[in-house]
Structure 1
Amino acid sequence: MARTREFDTEAAVSRAMELFWACGYEATSVRDLTQHLGIGQGSLYAAFGDKDGLYRAALEHYRTTLAAAALRDLAEGADARSAVRALLVERIRIAVGQDGQGCLAVNAACERLPEDPSIRRIVRDMQDASRDALAEVLRVAAERGEIEARHDPDTLAAFLVTFLNGLLVSSKITPNRRDLEPLVEVALGALG
C-alpha cells in the first residue's frame, strides 16, 4: 500500500523557490533542499521526480505568484507611463533588496540556458506574458493619447522586457537602486 504524502507540496515548492532564488540551481544540492524543506530525499523524489522537477515547480510558482502579481499591478495602474515606471522600479527594488538575488526568472535564464529547453519554455512563457501585458497597456495608452503612437505597441513592449532583463542582470553587478532607477527614465523616453 502506498504511503500518503505527509507534507504540503505547495509550501515545499514555495520554500524551494526561496532557496533556489537565494543560491541558484547549481549551488543548491538535494541535501540542501531536503534540509530546507524538512522532508526526506525519498519524499522529494516521489513528489517532484528529481531536483530538476522541483526547480521547474519553483519557477512555475514564481510565475503564478510574484510575476503574475506584477502584471496585475501593471494592468491596474493609473496612466501607462506611471504603471510602466512602477513595474520597472518595483522589479529593481525586489532585485537589489534581497541581498542582490536578482530576478528568479532572469537568474534561471543566465544559469540554465541554453542547455535546458524546459527552463527556456518556462522563462519564455513569463516573458511572453510580460510582453503581452505591456503591449495591451501601451495599445490602450496610445488610443487615449497618453503616449505617442510612433512605435508598434508589441515592439515597444518587447523593448521594455528586453530592457528589464538587462536591468535585472545589471542589478547583480551593481545592486544599488540609486544607480539603476535613473535608467528607467531613459527607457520611458521610448514611450514618447
Structure 2
Amino acid sequence: MARTKEFDPDAALQSALELFWRRGYEATSVADLVEHLGIGRASIYATFGSKHELYLKALDRYAESVDPRLFADLSGPGPALPAVRTVVRRFAAEAASPQERLNGCFVTNTAAELGAHDSVAARRVESSWDRLETLLLAALVRAQAQGELPPERDPRALARMLLVLLQGVRVVGKASADPARVRDAAEQALSLLD
C-alpha cells in the first residue's frame, strides 16, 4: 500500500518559491529547504525532484501568478495607453517600495543569477519576457489603432524598450535606496509614448 503524503505539495511549493525568491538559487541549500518547508529531504526529492527542478517549478508558479494580472491590466477594454502607463508606473513603484524591493522580481533575479550558465532557467526567463513583450506590443498596437499613439511610433520597438526598462527598474530598485532613480527613469521612458 502506498503511503499518503503528510504535507500539502502545493503549500510546500509556495514556501519554496518564497525562500528561493528571497535568497536565490545558490544561497538556498537543500538543508534550508528541509527546514523552511518542514518536510524531509526524501519527501522533497520524491515530490519535486532535485533542488533545480524544485526551483524551476517555483519559477513557473511565480510566472503563473504574475501573468494573469498583467494580461488583465494590458488587455482590458477602453484606452490602451493609460493601461501601459499604469503598468510601467506600478513596476517602478514596486521596485522603489522598501517592502517589495528586497526580493525584486523572481524572473529578473533568475536572469541575473542563472541566466548566463543555466540554459533551462534562461529559457524560462526568455519565455516570461516574451509573454510580457507580447502583452505590451498588443496594447501599443491597440493604442496606435485607437489614435492614442502617434502613427510614426514603432510599437514593437517601444514594447521591447519597455520590457528592458521594466527589467532594469527591477534590478536598480533592488539595489538602490533612492526611489526617485526608478521613478524618473520610468517617466522618461513613458515620455516616448507621447
Shared fold (TM-score, shorter chain, > 0.5): yes
Could you say if the C-alpha distance between residues 92 and 35 of structure 1 is closer, same or farther in structure 2, counting changes exceeding 3 Å?
farther
1:136 aligns with 138
2:29 aligns with 29
> Which amino acid is the alignment partner of residue 27 of structure 1?
A
1:151 aligns with 153
Could you say if the C-alpha distance between residues 175 and 59 of structure 1 is closer, same or farther in structure 2, counting changes exceeding 3 Å?
farther
Distance 1:150 1:168 in 2: 29
Tell me the TM-score normalized by structure 2. 0.91
2:7 aligns with 7
Taking the TM superposition and a 5 Å limit, the aligned residue runs for 1:162-177 are 162-177=164-179
2:128 aligns with 126
Distance 1:78 1:100 in 2: 35
Q: Give 3-state SS (helix, strand or coil) of 1:2's partner.
A: coil
Gaps of 5+ in 1: none
Could you say if the C-alpha distance between residues 7 and 94 of structure 1 is closer, same or farther in structure 2, counting changes exceeding 3 Å?
farther
> Which amino acid is the alignment partner of residue 63 of structure 2?
R
> Which amino acid is the alignment partner of residue 193 of structure 2?
L
Contact residue 17 and residue 55 of structure 1 kept, 8 A: yes
Deviates more, 1:53-62 or 1:14-23: 14-23
2:92 aligns with 92
Deviates more, 1:26-35 or 1:87-96: 87-96
Q: Deviation at 1:62?
A: 0.6
2:192 aligns with 190
Q: Deviation at 1:22?
A: 0.9
Runs of 4+ in 1 over 4 A off after TM superposition: none
1:58 aligns with 58
**RMSD, aligned α-carbons:** 1.7
Distance 1:92 1:120 in 2: 24
Q: Deviation at 1:175?
A: 4.0
Identity fraction in percent: 38
Deviates more, 1:42-51 or 1:82-91: 82-91
Q: Deviation at 1:100?
A: 2.0
* Count of aligned pairs: 192
Q: Give 3-state SS (helix, strand or coil) of 2:4's partner.
A: coil
Tell me the TM-score normalized by structure 1. 0.92
